[in-house]
Chains A and B, each alone.
Chain A
């Protein structure tokens, strides 16, 4: 790892874990915690969408997995008394398993066809949540307890959130740690052989098969990892809002995940993180514009598209930088 890159990573970590809490403490803008926690979680889900883009598939179905992950966590906590911390990986794994079943047939589709099917998938998830008895229909699942204590061999690693004076900060730290881990994994995938193979798939699936890549398996694997991230993010969202409804993640959210990836830049690992930050924060800041919020937001989106059709991070390319 080059020194500049190392310095960049350290600066990022310093900013996220020291400067932001400091800034919020000084200004008293506690609401920023909620915004930034959301950004961190959304960027985890967006990281998954980005990975499907990386194998050449337009994924507009991440909302389905976020919803599924949320419900899995909520049901396990409220009905089976499972610890929140255990439901996190379970929610991710459940989503990954579901995505393997769904992915096997639909990943054969390409381009716009795959995009449309995934879009429909979000709607399927919502309708399923409405129809199933275990999800409690439109009433959803509410008053889910805050995350409890996580201890290992009697040693408390994470205290019970309900005993904390400031659960907002705790959620912020949890979400950002998860985000850092997610992007570490994503970065590693992209820069290891797995990523190279994904790129080969993105660029020429037939050739990829003829050099001996099991393309069907690789596609499903990437999609499963993607859905794992989606489920994880969904489960934490539920922990924060302490409730989940069939409409907690809808088509709009799925489209947004895709937009985050596009805006940041599909060729850059940290594109979805930047895209999420810009769009979510931008939207939040624009709330001062009241009824013109959506107009300005979408106008800016279109303008960005015209100026930088390959994403914000493509600015770096002109200076000769790489991802």
Chain B
């Protein structure tokens, strides 16, 4: 039991971090970022390149992932989303753009890093063994702690910094924020950069444990969508809750349902459908966010 909980928390911390970036972008620009999973994979490859190929310390790789993805996010917002949002008749057009960007990033990843599975050497060795009740490698614990620290940092940033407050105002009511003198273009760009950066950071964290490959982008996006649907799209607390809930469900499901074959995700999806039928806006979302 303790083992399941520990696994769930470990998964949940990373999932929450992925969902945070996605929900931030959604709340600021009403864009469903299909390319989120690809950004995560890209971040993983950047860390891999810095650590495994250039031989620099892990923390440098992590910072490199964050910087590269933040710049990429800012550029994507400024040169792609902004003009399309301005010109199109329907908001949904941004979905096509996001899907196009997802393909594009896949292509870039393929050309730059190839299709092989990549990983970096363990950053810490050893395994925590608490009385055979919880067995968990130290590197996983470290990664989970880092993820939680990032989540806390992000919340503090959104809560107390000037930029964070401006972004929250923007997410609540674009028009009102504009009237209050918030530079909408600037903060949309910062928000997108921040969202992409979070995706890149998770990629950098996880490359040390599960490794990374080209095919992981799409499924990661789907999982991220699941999390923000559970928690409620566009709500920070919802993304965190959604991440931990999905992590827990996966952890419990893989153990409890193992006897029935690979149906964990089927059960998760089915219960999500039922849940959404009862509560369409998710746990913490506003109706029709």
Contacts and interface: CB of A to CB of B under 8 A. Distances in A.
- Judge: A and B partners, yes or no: yes
A291 B97 contact: no
Contact of B222 (A58, A120, A295, A309): A120
Interface stretch (B104-112, B132-140, B162-170): B104-112
Interface of B is mostly: helix
Contacts of B273: 102, 105-106, 117, 120, 124
A239 interface: no
A214 interface: no
A259 to B, nearest CB: 6
Interface stretch (B5-13, B58-66, B83-91, B203-211): B83-91
Contacts of B226: 116, 120
Contacts of B228: 116
A203 to B, nearest CB: 11
Interface stretch (A86-94, A126-134, A150-158, A169-177): A126-134
Among A112, A115, A251, A252, max chain B CB count under 10 A is at A112
The range of chain B's interface size is 35 or more
A295 B105 CA distance: 8
Contacts of B110: 291, 294
B225 interface: yes
A127 B226 CA distance: 15
Contacts of A302: 80, 97, 100-101, 104
Contacts of B281: 113
Nearest to B91: A111
Nearest to B288: A110
A117 B276 CA distance: 9
Given A123-B222, A255-B34, A113 B104 contact: no
Interface in A281-310: 291-292, 294-295, 297-299, 301-302, 305-306, 309-310
B26 A306 contact: no
B265 A119 contact: no
Interface in B105-161: 106-108, 110-111
Q: Ordered nearest first, which 6 A-B pairs have the shortest CB separation?
A: A105-B277, A298-B103, A309-B88, A294-B107, A295-B107, A298-B104
30 contacts: A58-B92, A102-B273, A106-B276, A106-B277, A108-B277, A109-B280, A111-B91, A111-B289, A113-B276, A113-B281, A113-B289, A115-B32, A116-B228, A116-B229, A120-B222, A120-B225, A120-B226, A123-B222, A124-B269, A127-B262, A255-B34, A258-B96, A267-B89, A291-B110, A294-B104, A298-B106, A298-B107, A302-B97, A305-B97, A310-B88
Interface of A: 53, 58, 102, 105-106, 108-113, 115-117, 119-120, 123-124, 127-128, 130-131, 251-252, 255, 258-259, 262-263, 266-267, 291-292, 294-295, 297-299, 301-302, 305-306, 309-310
Interface of B: 26, 30, 32, 34, 80, 83-84, 87-93, 95-97, 99-101, 103-104, 106-108, 110-111, 218, 222, 225-226, 228-229, 233, 261-263, 265-266, 269-270, 272-273, 276-277, 280-281, 288-289
